A and B are shown apart, each in its own frame.
Chain A
Amino acid sequence: MSAKILSVDDSRMVRSVISRLLKPFEVELLEAENGEIGLAIATEKLPNVIILDYNMPVMDGVTMLTKMRENESTKSIPVIMLTADANPQIIATVARLGVKDYITKPFKDADLIAKIGRTVQLVPRPAAPPAA
């Protein structure tokens, strides 16, 4: 069974980079452009891991994370924060909310894949059969 990963970021660039990085793996990738949409998708789809930005319009990452932790069905979903903000107050807050990891942007492709791989099993997609 493929891992279900939710990427929540207001930047389409970041979501595209994550999509490209995960393409070689058996992954069902879900996307949201803010915390409000992310929370709705997390509640409905129960992903195996969420890659979450902090600074977003409508609902920021900390608010989404707080609401997830208050909900029985979503409170245990592992979250990896991926944010440009390295403010120690934010880091302390998300640490209290039990995030699995914290990655600051700009990030190296290999670092992100390694941290996702520590949370869910990333199974390589089988090679496509040669064209007839």
Chain B
Amino acid sequence: MAALAMAEVLDTQLHLPGVETEKYSLADHDTLCVKGHVAMHGPQFTGDIFLEIPVPFVRSAAQQIFGFENPADVQDADLKDVVGELSNMIGGRVAAELLAEGLTCTLVPPDKSIVTRVKHEAKDSAELSQTYWLCDGNLISLTVQKKLITS
């Protein structure tokens, strides 16, 4: 569902092509990630989008975006700002795709944190899709969880 959104965000905002991959080993990649979480609330469903990007990759992107000379000048707040906004953009695109299926929702402003990457598990009867992307040698994970509200 979010594949197009992810590819578009990486291309237009970071100017880097991202490729969805099924061949990955979490052990071969940085486990410390910046996580952005956007919650979606609608009359027919609730949902969550989790975007996890390795810290060194976000640091490099933030250095360019904010124009820092030295990577060490990039603060945690800068890392969280970048991933929060990227997850917000993906959330907007996913919401638009859901709207095309007749599901309306509002987006909650993203919350951001620095975490160890985890494999997300579907909660209750939620529908969960977790995809991995390679971008400039870094493994990015995107998880979309959706649960229909049954009356």
Contact = CB atoms under 8 A, between A and B. Distances in A.
Interface of A: 10-14, 16-17, 20, 55-57, 83-88, 104-109
B99 A16 contact: no
Nearest to A90: B106
Contacts, number: 62
B107 interface: yes
A108 to B, nearest CB: 6
A57 B88 contact: no
Given A105-B88, A106-B13, A12 B104 contact: no
Given A16-B67, A105-B88, A108-B12, A85 B107 contact: yes
Given A10-B109, A13-B81, A56-B109, A84 B66 contact: no
B56 interface: no
Contacts of B106: 85, 87
Contacts of B67: 16, 20
A57 B85 CA distance: 13
A13 B110 CA distance: 14
B66 A12 contact: yes
Given A11-B81, A17-B65, A87 B89 contact: no
Contacts of A12: 66, 78, 81
B4 to A, nearest CB: 11
